[in-house]
Amino acid sequence: MTTNDLPITQANQKVRPHPTQNEALLFEKSSPGKRAYKLPPLDVPAVDAKAMLGAAHRDTPGLLPEISEIEIIRHFTRLSTWNYAIDLGMYPLGSCTMKYNPRVNEFVSRIEGLAEAHPYRPESHAQGILEIIDLLQRCLLEITGMDAITLQPAAGAHGEFTGILLTRAWHESQGNPRGKILIPDSAHGTNPATAAICGYAVENIKSNSDGGIDLDALARQVDSETAALMLTNPSTLGVFESQIHKIADILHAKGALLYMDGANMNALVGKVRPGDFGVDVMHLNLHKTFSTPHGGGGPGSGPVACKAFLEPFLPTPVLVRKKGAKGRGAREAGGEGIESGALHWDYNRPHSVGRVRAFYGNTGMFIRALAYILANGPDGLRQTTEDAVLNANYIRSKLEDLYDLPYSTPSMHEAVFSDKRQLVHGVKTGDIAKRLIDYGFHPYTVSFPLIVHGALMIEPTESESLEELNLFIGAMRSIAREAEETPDLVKSAPHSTRVSRLDEVQAARQPVLRWRPAK
């Protein structure tokens, strides 16, 4: 608990310790005339801005904060001390796969020629980065067992959108775009949103008692209007859909496609390939499975891989190697323009769904993901998958005596509990999550998937050591005891943060989205 002996004023706030220190907005710190720069004397002829801009010229400057450089630096540095990050401790947000971002990724992506590569650079001068993109594409195809890929989508939901556009384009080429997409009730909310945005009606599929797809119900629901099933495998319960090949057969028999949401691909890499179990199109999250930064704006990257029959519809441009290519063409191509073996962006794709993003995607993430893949190698990637599954099952086995496990089906990379046993003391999943902050951990995912009432969704990833896992388990066991003995302590958590319970309801009902000057 914090003590506030001093009255809170602007004057004393800045000498209080950081966790309790308040921080004004830059706008509130502004005072007239302050500058963070000093320009040299004008060494070109002065112009009359008003005359040149005409009606576009404004006489009164915009209300922007006026502040010095060190104040700006301190402002953001102080704010950064309130953050929790994977570099500080475990971040067990289920479904989000908050992996450690290896430093080798960051090192490679900062190599000058890569960090400063410009998308308008002529192809003949960009063969190095194109080779990186090409090699990443080939690695991802090998990992997924698919035939073709685009790296353009900027994140997972954008990948879903692209994948369903491909699905729609293919159905249209068969004469009928069809009208509906099937989605299990355990799905990520982005799945139905994607289907709706792509013009499809959404039909829900109820999960069976194992948390999987009921094959008989599915067979009844799939008809000539079904464009696709969007399936996450392993599901959001962390359960592998072992009937996946039969699901694919049911869909294919009616001309429908199987879309796989690859959000949980980190449980499959090096073990099983979606392309081998009947998936037609899928997305990957480089910011989950392939260790590029997640959260804080990433940026994300959501490549879409598909089978050969969907390849004509991929977004433009598609990276192709000029004919006669053998081995690496980059160096030979030099500055002499595109030669045999060089990589080339193909825009002549008459069946393409078109561009889904400016330029080629979040290229910096491609470099990081490739660094991760190459640094691990095939055996390392397989080990990573095994460790992620082992870690999740270790947590499950150490907590299942205290927390209700609604599905006893074997877990893959994450474990989903419910707050059923704590609820009798009035303690809900959100309370346990907030108490976890006091123990130094980021909360797990709360109240998702929706099919589990009061869900606690925990995904440690392979990044965590046995020691960190034990600390986490200790915290969770301690909170379970507190929920019984001192439930109010849990219900009013967190107690160690600068602010405690924010008014989420008020924020959602009456959001204040911008600062306004005091009148």
Partner 1 sequence: MSYPIHYRYTREHEWISVDDAIGTVGITDYAQGSLGDIVYVDLPRSGDAVTAGAVFGSVESVKAVSDLFSPVSGKVTAVNEELKNAPDKINEDPHGTWIIKVDLSNPAELDSLLDAGAYEAFIAEETGH
Report the interface residues with partner 1, using CB under 8 A.
Answer: 189, 447, 450, 453, 504-505, 508-509
For partner 1, which is the closer residue by CB, 19 or 189? 189
Minimum distance, C-beta of residue 451 to partner 1, in the bound complex (Å): 11
Say how far apart CA 337 and CA 329 lie, in whole Å.
12
Minimum distance, C-beta of residue 450 to partner 1, in the bound complex (Å): 6
Minimum distance, C-beta of residue 504 to partner 1, in the bound complex (Å): 5
For partner 1, which is the closer residue by CB, 49 or 450? 450
Minimum distance, C-beta of residue 93 to partner 1, in the bound complex (Å): 16
For partner 1, which is the closer residue by CB, 138 or 453? 453
For partner 1, which is the closer residue by CB, 192 or 302? 192
> What's the chain's Rg over C-alpha atoms?
26
Say how far apart CA 230 and CA 241 lie, in whole Å.
13
Helix then strand then coil, % of the chain, to nearest 5 = 40, 10, 50
For partner 1, which is the closer residue by CB, 60 or 209? 209
For partner 1, which is the closer residue by CB, 240 or 448? 448
End-to-end Cα spacing for the chain: 36
Plot region of 175 (φ>0 → left; ψ -120 to 50 → alpha; else → beta): left
Please enumerate in sequence order all residues whose Cβ is within 8 A of that of 208, keeping only pairs 6 or more positions apart, or say none: 214, 217
Say how far apart CA 270 and CA 15 lie, in whole Å.
53
DSSP letter string over 293-333? --STT------EEE-GGGGGGSPSPEEEEPTT--S--HHHH
Minimum distance, C-beta of residue 447 to partner 1, in the bound complex (Å): 5
Say how far apart CA 359 and CA 452 lie, in whole Å.
41
Place of tokens 């796989």: 260
Angle at the Cα of 281 (from 463 to 192), degrees rounded to 5? Answer: 85
User: Dihedral (C-alpha) 217, 223, 225, 227: value to the nearest 10 degrees?
Assistant: 70
For partner 1, which is the closer residue by CB, 221 or 266? 221
Amino acid, res. 198: C
For partner 1, which is the closer residue by CB, 509 or 514? 509
DSSP-assigned beta bridge partners for residue 404: 418
Minimum distance, C-beta of residue 184 to partner 1, in the bound complex (Å): 16
Token reading at 296 = 């804080």
**Phi, psi angles (nearest 5°) of residue 376:** -80, -40
Minimum distance, C-beta of residue 448 to partner 1, in the bound complex (Å): 9
For partner 1, which is the closer residue by CB, 418 or 463? 418
Minimum distance, C-beta of residue 236 to partner 1, in the bound complex (Å): 14
For partner 1, which is the closer residue by CB, 171 or 188? 188
Distance of alpha carbon 518 from the chain centroid = 38
For partner 1, which is the closer residue by CB, 21 or 447? 447
Contact 291, 266 (CB under 8 A): no
Minimum distance, C-beta of residue 507 to partner 1, in the bound complex (Å): 9
Please enumerate in sequence order all residues whose Cβ is within 8 A of that of 267, keeping only pairs 6 or more positions apart, or say none: 234, 238, 240, 385, 388, 389, 412, 413
**Phi, psi angles (nearest 5°) of residue 160:** -55, -50
Minimum distance, C-beta of residue 429 to partner 1, in the bound complex (Å): 10
Amino acid, res. 386: E
Q: Tally the residues of the chain.
A: 519
Minimum distance, C-beta of residue 167 to partner 1, in the bound complex (Å): 23
